[in-house]
Amino acid sequence: MSGVAIADEWLTVEQAATLLQVNPATIYRWCKSGEIAHTRVGRTYRVHRASLERRPGGAGGALANARPGEPAPASALARPRVIAVTNQKGGVGKTTTAVNLGAALAERGLRVVLIDMDPQANATATLTGREDLMPSLTDVLLHHVEPSRVIVPAARVPNLWVLPANIGLTDVELHLMAKLGREFLLRPVVAQLTRAYDVVIIDCPPSIGVLTISGLVAADEFIVPVRPHLYSAMGIKKLFAPSPSCARRATTRRCG
Ligand SMILES: Nc1ncnc2c1ncn2[C@@H]1O[C@H](COP(=O)(O)OP(=O)(O)OP(=O)(O)O)[C@@H](O)[C@H]1O
Ligand SMILES: [Mg+2]
């Protein structure tokens, strides 16, 4: 990860306040309410520049003006896209697809967040160089930690962020296996993210458990990578076989 890139994207509270011409206390308030993506360095906040652009109230104009000569951010999509990359067969290229799709869209100027739903944390490791980040998606799903406190920027790819996984995600499967409504686990998180990002990509694990089902229920679209191989193709069939709980309870258009 390039330190220069991070320093460029993460602003101190004072820098953000100057940029938006508001009181630093306002920036602190937005951080605390989760209105803008931020991280903590000791006792102070660092604010993510791109999240200021998306803040209701039109900070984008102020930011565009703040960097004369820099191309304006690409116009957002007409509606946010939520794409799950899934196949219960392992090793077929789900993570590779999710990461590269995310990077390609981010390169085009869209704000992209990748949710790593796989306890293996391959996407997290690829994008951040770490697979033990804390807090992680586990804290969002089990302990209701604000996603904006967990999301981190991808190394070397501006406009791309990751909601990181770690091995603790296996606890989510275990804790929620028998819980009613478990397939809706991710949906409120995704709904929140679509207010700040243009594209949400969900990298599913190689199984059809709580994590994958909740990823599918939260998504509008699927990508199913396959290898030209019998067992990989069989994974598609299993994925689209109606799941009783999914078909009964979920209202997503393509589920079941
Ligand atoms: N298009 C491709 N051509 C050749 N190799 C590929 C391609 N896509 C992925 N790979 C390789 O296949 C391997 C598995 O890829 P990847 O980890 O993306 O699969 P996955 O479906 O996410 O695996 P898992 O099910 O374990 O999460 C990796 O070594 C990756 O580099
Ligand atoms: Mg994977």
Provide the pLDDT for residue 25. Answer: 77
Question: Do residue 46 and residue 86 come from a single domain?
Answer: no
How does strand 112-116 pair with strand 160-163? parallel
Question: Do residue 97 and residue 29 come from a single domain?
Answer: no
Spell out the per-residue pLDDT of the chain, length 256, in tens: 333 334 457 888 888 877 776 777 778 888 877 778 888 877 778 888 777 766 644 444 334 333 333 333 444 577 899 999 999 889 999 999 999 999 999 998 899 999 999 999 999 999 999 988 999 999 999 999 999 999 999 998 989 999 999 999 998 888 887 777 888 989 999 999 998 899 999 999 999 889 999 999 999 999 999 888 888 778 777 777 655 455 444 444 444 3
pTM of the model: 0.71
Question: Do residue 111 and residue 203 come from a single domain?
Answer: yes
- The answer to whether position 254 is within a domain reads no
Provide the pLDDT for residue 104. Answer: 94
- The answer to whether position 127 is within a domain reads yes
95 C-beta closer than 6 A to ligand 1: yes
Q: What is the CATH number of the domain that holds 140?
A: 3.40.50.300
Question: Do residue 86 and residue 202 come from a single domain?
Answer: yes
91 C-beta closer than 6 A to ligand 1: yes
> Given the CA of residue 203, which atom of ligand 1 is nearest to it?
22
The domain of 225 spans 81-249
> Given the CA of residue 92, which atom of ligand 1 is nearest to it?
21
Distance 203 CA to ligand 1 centre (A): 12
Question: Do residue 21 and residue 144 come from a single domain?
Answer: no
Number of domains in the chain: 2
Distance 99 CA to ligand 2 centre (A): 10
94 C-beta closer than 6 A to ligand 1: yes
90 C-beta closer than 6 A to ligand 1: yes
| CA dist., res. 95 & res. 253, Å (int) | 24
122 C-beta closer than 6 A to ligand 1: yes
Domain boundary among 18, 34, 66: 66
- The answer to whether position 255 is within a domain reads no
> Given the CA of residue 96, which atom of ligand 1 is nearest to it?
18
Provide the pLDDT for residue 21. Answer: 67
Domain boundary among 43, 66, 89: 66
| CA dist., res. 39 & res. 48, Å (int) | 8
